Amino acid sequence: MRINRFLIKFNSNSDNLQINNAEIYNKIRNVLKLKPGEKIILFDGEANEALTEILNIDARNKTIDLMVLDKRKDIKKINKEIILYCSILKKENFELVVQKATEIGIAKIVSIISERTIKTGVKKERMEKIIKEASEQSGRATLLKFVEPTGLKQAMESAKVNDLNLFFDISGEFINFPILTSGKIGIFIGPEGGWNKNELESANKYNMKIVKLSDLTFRAETAAIIAGYLSFL
């Protein structure tokens, strides 16, 4: 049976906790209709998790008292750190990328404004909400880091520290996974209209590997999700 998970800061040294967050209270009491005796998991986004049992739901003060049954530091040994440098896409498509990137374990998304980017702004609060909900659903213990929009050149400069940078474009060579057994891998995904000539030249100047997943032309959000997942192989 799946135990519901909630992202919230908590005292990892305490055996008794209280939730006074209105949103979480409403979800537990009115949406999920959980009762005393049922279990929930709290996690703080920094690898701390607590399995708890509901002791009391106080409707007057809108608080929930919990007893901690088990605590753990969920530190998984991950040999690869995947950073997704993704051009800002149309609202629903970009939100899909953020959601799925969180679910598959991407460490960080750097949102890029490229030459053919149509939409140049994102609401960070909305992105953080998607990351929170996807982390709760997927069982992820640490939060994906979202970087607000930056220019492509700045993104390429910051990517110099990576062990490998993959610049996806239909003109590139086929890529076969796995590519690295460990290290930091940067994945660059262009906008709906693709990269232009100058951007491809810049990728070459920064010693990025220009690659493609297929002879088929994928939507940007599809390429981001597939490339992100395959990079963990």
**107 in helix, strand or coil?**
coil
pLDDT for the residue 143 = 94
| Digit-coded pLDDT (tens) for 53-64 | 999 999 999 999
Q: Where exactly are the structural domains of the chain?
A: 5-73, 80-230
Distances (CA, A) of 233 to 71, 81, 83: 30, 12, 15
% of the chain residues with pLDDT over 70: 98
| Rg of the chain taking only CA atoms, in angstroms | 21
pLDDT for the residue 119 = 79
Is 5-73 in CATH node 3.30.360.10?
no
pLDDT for the residue 75 = 67
pLDDT above 70 for 77: no
Tell me the pLDDT of the chain averaged across its residues: 94
Burial of 174 (0-12, 13-18, 19+ CB in 10 A): exposed
Q: Give the pLDDT band of residue 216 (cuts 50, 70, 90).
A: very high
Q: Give the pLDDT band of residue 233 (cuts 50, 70, 90).
A: confident
CATH of 80-230, one of 3.40.1280.10, 3.30.1360.200, 3.40.50.720, 3.50.50.60: 3.40.1280.10
pLDDT above 70 for 212: yes
Task: State mean pLDDT over 159-173.
Answer: 96
Output the CA angle 163-169-174, nearest 5 degrees: 75
| Digit-coded pLDDT (tens) for 168-207 | 999 999 998 888 888 999 999 999 999 999 999 999 999 9
Task: State mean pLDDT over 23-35.
Answer: 96
Specify the length of the chain in residues. 233
pLDDT for the residue 224 = 97
Backbone dihedral region for residue 158 (phi beyond 0: left; psi -120 to 50: alpha; all else: beta) = alpha
DSSP-H helix ranges across the chain: 22-26, 91-104, 124-138, 152-158, 197-205, 220-230
Task: State mean pLDDT over 119-132.
Answer: 91
- The 8-class DSSP code of residue 76 comes to -
**Residue 53, amino acid:** E
pTM above 0.75, yes or no: yes
Task: State mean pLDDT over 97-121.
Answer: 94
Give the integer Cα–Cα distance in Å for 227 and 164: 14
